[in-house]
Structure 1
Amino acid sequence: MKRILPTVSNFWNQIPIWVRRSLVTILVLAILIKVLFALLIFWKTPRLSGELKIPGLTQPVSVIRDSYGVPHIRSENSHSAYFALGYVSASDRLFQMEILRRAAKGELSEVLGAELVPTDIFLRQVLLRRTAERMLQESEKVNPQILKELDSFLEGVNYFLKTESLPIEFTILGYKPKPFNRLDVMSALSLLSFSFAEALRNDTLYTILERKLPNRNVSELFPRHDTEEPFSIQQNQPSYSPKKLTENSKVFLPLAKEPKFSKSNELSDLDLVIQKTNWILKELPSLSGSNSWVIGPSRSTTGGAILANDPHIGYGNPGTWYEVHLRTGDHESYGYHLPIFPFPLIAHNVQKAWALTMLENDDMDFYEEILHPTKPNLVKEKGNWVPVQILKESIQVKGEEPREITIQVTSHGPILSKPIQGYTGPVVSLYWIFHHVSVPLLETIYSLGRCSSLTECNTIVSNLTAPGLNVSYADKNGNIAWWSVGRFPIRKKKTNTRKILNGASGEEDVIGYIPFSQNPKLINPPEGIILTANHLPTYELKGYGKPEGYWQESDRGRRIYELLSQKKIGPWTI
């Protein structure tokens, strides 16, 4: 060390003085920037302790965070409790909430720039905000208490906006968010529901491949699992004995391993087509499915029912869910929210527990539309030229002039102006059940948390028309249940709904929906097991045949059932 220091000193003294001064200046600036950034981060850190006195709150409310940071909110007054929920949600997830509402309303380019204009156009064209406006109008006619508690939540969010330091993302982007409102919340629910639709990931690709590879059976790439031994949520009760998979089980070999295709040009075409259709996926969160299972009292060590839920939502930072324990008056819930939404989608309390997985029913389709060659606002429907509905939208763009767009809407739904890469053909419209029926999503989620009996919960879920969900249920009295929630479309004739349909003929149109009373369900099955894994809900909808959907492979469901039904493992506990 004694030799090193003089050597370093001599080397430093040999450097020209202006270079030495420059290096010292750079070092000091780097340290200063680092200190200032650390101070900025500290200043932006949300308040996690202390006492607030807020005008307008009529009752005290406590927020205690456990070792995982989960807020436990308690107040005798619902207004105070939901105000606190809004405040802590904004404290933890404000920028996520901001992006959620902007994505749902097609307003990303206003703060993120022109690069997001195509995304905003797409999100405007699928009418998420307009659908949310209609849903909100319908909600305002139903239960005023729901909107009262929603407004209390929004008051808490906006109080945080007004009084606290905003997250650093807003400093970087250089803007302050507007107050949140009811429409922001409803739009986010619309976006979540839209992202569940498997048709977005399948139907256009199916059509592209079918036309690109006319000598192939494209259905092999989109298996409905009809070749499997039947296994459904409803029918495989109460005495199914699962068979183990063997080496002789039928599987689909990868195309590249089939000799007749190993040197085929069609394979490179296929790869190109798949690459070109990835745009469908990149706009959406990764929602790959979910599991849930319920066991009855006879299979548990406590003599009570047990429910488990395993939503397969893609990893993110921050995560999709926001975990909250809330108690107000005689209501309590511990569950998982969207950060922008005050009522839990999955939760439990002392009376019951409920869980959600994706039903995977087909409630979205694409239609090829024939527009008039000289009058582009006329579309052919059942042999006649009829006018499309015209909607105008203005998209604000950061640093640029607004973009004005026109949306054409047929009887099926909005026409998508963004070309589907790899697809050649007439313009395409989007049919989505949300555009065509009343969707009491807000009321259903709220009421699931308040229902006090199995019968009451059955009535509540019967009202929800979309999105398609498996709702599993267990209560303190030992009842267990499952409902397939949503609507199955009725068509004029049997149709392959996994590809783009003919919009001009009317032969492939939806003409109605199967009533909820005929949806598959299970209530207290004798064997005491209910499981859902996005697989086939039932072999047959009475009078309508096998339901249409994007059912997942049954291997998850079979394995769960195999474990739950083994006598040597049970009874179960948590």
Structure 2
Amino acid sequence: MKRRLRIVAMTLGVLLALLAAGAAWYVHSKQPVRQGEQALKGLQAPVSVRYDERGVPHIRAQDQADLYRALGYVQAQDRLFQMEMLRRLARGELAEVLGPRLIDTDKLFRSLRIGEHADAYVARQDRNTPSWQALQHYLDGINQYQDSHPRPLEFDLLGITPRPFTAEDTLSIGGYLAYSFAAAFRTEPLLTYVRDELGADYLKVFDLGWHPDGLLDARPTLSQADWQGLGALAQLSHQALQDAGLPQFEGSNAWAIAGSRTRSGKPLLAGDPHIRFSVPAVWYEAHLSAPGFELYGHYQPLNPFAFLGHNLDFGWSLTMFQNDDLDLIVEKTNPDNPEQVWYQGRWVDMTRSEQQIAVKGQAPVGLTLRRSPHGPIVNDVLGRNAGSTPVAMWWAFLETDNPLLDGFYEANRADTLGKMRSAAEKIQAPGLNIVWANTAGDIGWWATGQLPVRPAGVNPAFLLDGSTGQADKPGFYPFSANPQEENPARGYILSANVQPLSPAGIEIPGYYNPPERGQQLDQQLRDPAIKWDLASSQALQLGTRTDYARSILKPLLPVLRQVVSDHGEQQWVEKMADWSGDYTLDSVPATLFNQFLYDLADKTFRDELGDALFDTLLSTRAFDSALPRLAAEADSPWWDNRGSPLTETRTDTVRAAWRASINHLTAVYGPDPRQWQWGKVHTLTHAHPLGAQKPLDRLLNVGPFPAPGTHEVPNNQSSRLSPAPWPVNYGPSTRRLIDFADPAHALGISPVGQSGVPFDTHYADQAEAYMRGEYRPQHLSEADVAAHSQGELRLLP
């Protein structure tokens, strides 16, 4: 018996050892190769790829064709799954690999016509331009890698069959990025509902900055079913980006300081684009070098041209312009023919096309797409829940020539003000702010994007009436009307998502952030006593204080002192009164204020808007702008609870919100407020697209980490306003600092790591340093690259 048990035990041991060895071999087979030699067809000469201590490839080639082919190859081995998921999201093909829960997301993106637009864009391209040639070499490198190596682990888990990557995929992802900037889907139905269903008194808190009703009196007429459909569309638009677990662009900081204001006497450039956190990280870093060209760049999947970059001569960063380049238009249908809409004085047929969405584990789902003269009908994706009124979308991305590839190809080489200005003019959608500096001493800023001319008096913050001239676009303003500056006398340029000014004096509708973050940064940058350097710029980027909280608290503190009777709670009211608005990890007032802010919003807005529109409100910048104004208006009609027979005042609502906040924090974290520290309730977990499934969350997600900062501070680690706890959704997707007295020693950091391959050394090796506010050198000089090389991959013809 004992002998038999020993045999069984030995057999099990051998089987476990074999399983462990098999698992180790399997994981190893998926890892990037950063040492040795690999053949790559099409190369004219060998290419050297040296990897530094962070896994960043430093690629040296003999010509730019080889350079871009090598970039595609090495980026594919680190980020192939990310490329696959982004192209599927943009083209409405996620349900094919993720199943039925992504059907609505696929329907939404197909209704945006991003894939169709990309196909048409590619069809009319000049195949002989340098940008097109570079894209083809880059895609060839990606496809060669995919054809010659084992599939990524995620491909195996999802059953993805590899297929070639194409220029259409690249342009589709460009459309997704443009859409991720657009706030109209969330904001325009909400504001129109407030205006038309609640009235002008309720609209005042949103402080739109121009006549809410416009000068044209026509308004679309919508039924309750239409409103419900638009609310569902807003939720779908917001949720689609979250469910896909892929980056969404949210805001940013960037500044360029002239040499007259820096310690080194040369310009200093800083940038930290705010984007939804994810695994893999948003940016792929790579240093490219060939005769006549060198750039340390930050790249998006399937795009060979850096969106952020620098070399020894110049550099640039980006923020989101946040101009409103998307209008939702309510169409008037013919009572005798619902497939016709009233357009420019006559009934016009809508066009119709049919598509099939492949769905994992079930039969394909049909989708009918309609288009009016104004653009695609976007609420059709809701099916029977759409209401009876078609809503069309006019979107600059679909309506402009938008030579985006040419623009970024040129931006990667723009060493003078004139060259970067010319490159910026070619980026017509989405709207971006390019903040630029060079070694010669110049600094510049250009807001990119073609700005549409809208009829006088039309406010695109609301749904437009398609049966009138409201939605007409006579043309676009010239690029000279875009906000821009070159070498301003004050000695610095700042971009922080606030309302910009046009040199032509035109109004630029948009969904801009509250001004406090920009004002705070501007106040510090204009201090003449400071000579800026890398250290002081780090402190500025990592700032966690905001005046935004104070602007809300100031008018409410007298009310709180009146309604809070408990002695212990009174002490915490006074601690909030003394609080500077600094969201440090050990702050308790930060936690108490954030919970109070949610409960105040919940008890103020939900009863008028209902659950769906209230949920939408929390995701808009209109909400951020409304809160300080609401707090200061004691007579606002929002304070009254429509569900109560009484007439509530601001005092009543503040009392109820405070009580709800204390009760919630006590229930979740205990009765001792000293346990309510910000770092315990505000945490960052970098989520992989498959990380929502257990046990994959433990294997693929990175975190959680206690997170300092919050919404609208320089270190903008933001979470959705909700009851505590608060998982951080987005923040600085990289932090970069470049002093052009020594551009070879720029600083940067990734929130996670360079690699997107699970279990790779560089999958999450920067995550903890990022949370500590540390920076890492970005090696550019030959001596530094050689000194920090951890391995060399030689790509051979």
Short-chain TM bin: 0.7 to 0.9
Measure how far apart 1:118 and its partner are. Answer: 1.8
Change beyond 3 A, Cα 1:373–1:43: same
Measured against aligned partners, the alpha-carbon deviations of 1:167-198 in whole angstroms (never above 9, x if no partner) come to 11111122321011111111111111111112
Q: SS of the residue aligned with 1:86?
A: helix
Determine the C-alpha separation between the residues in 2 that align with 1:283 and 1:209.
24
Change beyond 3 A, Cα 1:40–1:211: farther
1:318 aligns with 2:275: no
Instruction: Confirm or deny: 8 A CA contact 1:104 1:129 kept in the other structure.
Output: yes
Q: Which of 409, 416, 421 is the aligned partner of 1:446?
A: 409
1:525 aligns with 2:511: no
Q: Which of 147, 164, 186 is the aligned partner of 1:162?
A: 147
Q: Which of 516, 529, 532 is the aligned partner of 1:568?
A: 529
Measure how far apart 1:208 and its partner are. Answer: 3.5
Change beyond 3 A, Cα 1:365–1:29: farther
Q: Name the amino acid aligned to 2:485.
A: L
Give me the CA root mean square deviation: 3.0
Measure how far apart 1:414 and its partner are. Answer: 0.4
Measured against aligned partners, the alpha-carbon deviations of 1:349-368 in whole angstroms (never above 9, x if no partner) come to 12211111111111101011
1:304 aligns with 2:266: yes
1:98 aligns with 2:84: yes
Determine the C-alpha separation between the residues in 1 that align with 2:117 and 2:10.
60
Measured against aligned partners, the alpha-carbon deviations of 1:63-89 in whole angstroms (never above 9, x if no partner) come to 111111111111112222111111111
Change beyond 3 A, Cα 1:138–1:480: farther
Measure how far apart 1:551 and its partner are. Answer: 1.5
Q: Which of 499, 502, 506 is the aligned partner of 2:462?
A: 499
> Residues 83-94 of structure 1: matches in 2 within 5 Å?
83-94=69-80
Change beyond 3 A, Cα 1:274–1:430: closer
> Residues 421-436 of structure 1: matches in 2 within 5 Å?
426-436=389-399
Q: SS of the residue aligned with 1:179?
A: coil
* Corresponding residue number in structure 1 for 2:160: 175
Change beyond 3 A, Cα 1:376–1:30: farther
Instruction: Confirm or deny: 8 A CA contact 1:111 1:397 kept in the other structure.
Output: yes
* Corresponding residue number in structure 1 for 2:475: 512
* Corresponding residue number in structure 2 for 1:279: 236
The number of residue pairs the alignment matches comes to 513
Measured against aligned partners, the alpha-carbon deviations of 1:476-507 in whole angstroms (never above 9, x if no partner) come to 21011111111222222312211211111123
Q: Name the amino acid aligned to 2:186.
A: R
Determine the C-alpha separation between the residues in 2 that align with 1:214 and 1:422.
25
Q: Which of 174, 179, 184 is the aligned partner of 2:169?
A: 184
* Corresponding residue number in structure 1 for 2:781: none
Q: Which of 30, 33, 53 is the aligned partner of 1:44?
A: 30
Measured against aligned partners, the alpha-carbon deviations of 1:191-234 in whole angstroms (never above 9, x if no partner) come to 111111121231122234445534752352x44478xxxxxxxx
Q: SS of the residue aligned with 1:313?
A: strand
Measure how far apart 1:329 and its partner are. Answer: 1.4
Change beyond 3 A, Cα 1:206–1:28: farther
More divergent stretch after superposition (473-482 vs 448-457)? 448-457
Change beyond 3 A, Cα 1:32–1:558: same
Change beyond 3 A, Cα 1:138–1:377: same
Q: SS of the residue aligned with 2:412?
A: helix
Task: Note the residue ranges of structure 2 that are not aligned, 5 or more in a row.
Answer: 211-226, 242-246, 535-738, 740-797
> Residues 259-270 of structure 1: matches in 2 within 5 Å?
none
1:123 aligns with 2:86: no
1:554 aligns with 2:511: no
Measure how far apart 1:30 and its partner are. Answer: 6.6
* Corresponding residue number in structure 2 for 1:486: 449
Q: SS of the residue aligned with 2:145?
A: helix
Change beyond 3 A, Cα 1:172–1:293: same
Measure how far apart 1:420 and its partner are. Answer: 9.8
Measured against aligned partners, the alpha-carbon deviations of 1:129-177 in whole angstroms (never above 9, x if no partner) come to 1111233234326x52212111111111111111111111111122321
Q: SS of the residue aligned with 1:278?
A: helix
Determine the C-alpha separation between the residues in 1 that align with 2:496 and 2:71.
32
Measured against aligned partners, the alpha-carbon deviations of 1:444-489 in whole angstroms (never above 9, x if no partner) come to 0111112332112212222332211111111121011111111222
Instruction: Confirm or deny: 8 A CA contact 1:73 1:326 kept in the other structure.
Output: yes
Q: SS of the residue aligned with 1:557?
A: helix
Determine the C-alpha separation between the residues in 1 that align with 2:429 and 2:383.
26
Q: Name the amino acid aligned to 1:320.
A: V
Instruction: Confirm or deny: 8 A CA contact 2:250 2:275 kept in the other structure.
Output: yes
Change beyond 3 A, Cα 1:56–1:485: closer
Q: SS of the residue aligned with 1:350?
A: coil
Determine the C-alpha separation between the residues in 1 that align with 2:107 and 2:373.
20
Determine the C-alpha separation between the residues in 2 that align with 1:436 and 1:125.
15
Determine the C-alpha separation between the residues in 2 that align with 1:362 and 1:324.
33
More divergent stretch after superposition (22-31 vs 40-49)? 22-31
Q: TM-score, normalised by structure 1?
A: 0.82
Instruction: Confirm or deny: 8 A CA contact 1:83 1:153 kept in the other structure.
Output: yes
Determine the C-alpha separation between the residues in 2 that align with 1:29 and 1:116.
39
Q: TM-score, normalised by structure 2?
A: 0.60
Q: Name the amino acid aligned to 2:98.
A: L
Measured against aligned partners, the alpha-carbon deviations of 1:75-127 in whole angstroms (never above 9, x if no partner) come to 11222211111111110010110011111111112222233222111111101
* Corresponding residue number in structure 2 for 1:56: 42
1:398 aligns with 2:360: yes
Q: Name the amino acid aligned to 2:523.
A: E
1:73 aligns with 2:30: no
* Corresponding residue number in structure 2 for 1:470: 433
1:372 aligns with 2:334: yes
> Residues 219-298 of structure 1: matches in 2 within 5 Å?
219-220=204-205, 222-224=206-208, 277-284=234-241, 285-298=247-260
* Corresponding residue number in structure 2 for 1:202: 187
Determine the C-alpha separation between the residues in 1 that align with 2:49 and 2:465.
56
Instruction: Confirm or deny: 8 A CA contact 1:277 1:421 kept in the other structure.
Output: no
Measure how far apart 1:433 and its partner are. Answer: 0.8
Instruction: Confirm or deny: 8 A CA contact 2:480 2:504 kept in the other structure.
Output: no
Instruction: Confirm or deny: 8 A CA contact 2:343 2:467 kept in the other structure.
Output: yes
Change beyond 3 A, Cα 1:423–1:399: closer
Q: SS of the residue aligned with 1:450?
A: coil
More divergent stretch after superposition (45-54 vs 117-126)? 45-54
* Corresponding residue number in structure 2 for 1:262: none
* Corresponding residue number in structure 1 for 2:539: none
Instruction: Confirm or deny: 8 A CA contact 2:92 2:107 kept in the other structure.
Output: yes
Instruction: Confirm or deny: 8 A CA contact 1:111 1:173 kept in the other structure.
Output: yes
More divergent stretch after superposition (20-29 vs 466-475)? 20-29
Determine the C-alpha separation between the residues in 2 that align with 1:31 and 1:368.
65
Determine the C-alpha separation between the residues in 2 that align with 1:133 and 1:274.
31
Change beyond 3 A, Cα 1:277–1:560: same
Measured against aligned partners, the alpha-carbon deviations of 1:256-288 in whole angstroms (never above 9, x if no partner) come to xxxxxxxxxxxxxx9xx9899533211124432
Measured against aligned partners, the alpha-carbon deviations of 1:524-550 in whole angstroms (never above 9, x if no partner) come to 111211000011111x66364x32111
Determine the C-alpha separation between the residues in 1 that align with 2:326 and 2:93.
24
Change beyond 3 A, Cα 1:543–1:316: closer
Instruction: Confirm or deny: 8 A CA contact 2:60 2:290 kept in the other structure.
Output: yes
Measured against aligned partners, the alpha-carbon deviations of 1:313-360 in whole angstroms (never above 9, x if no partner) come to 111111111111111111011111102211101101122111111111
Task: Note the residue ranges of structure 1 that are not aligned, 5 or more in a row.
Answer: 1-11, 227-269
1:460 aligns with 2:423: yes
Between Structure 1 and Structure 2, the one with more helix by share is 2
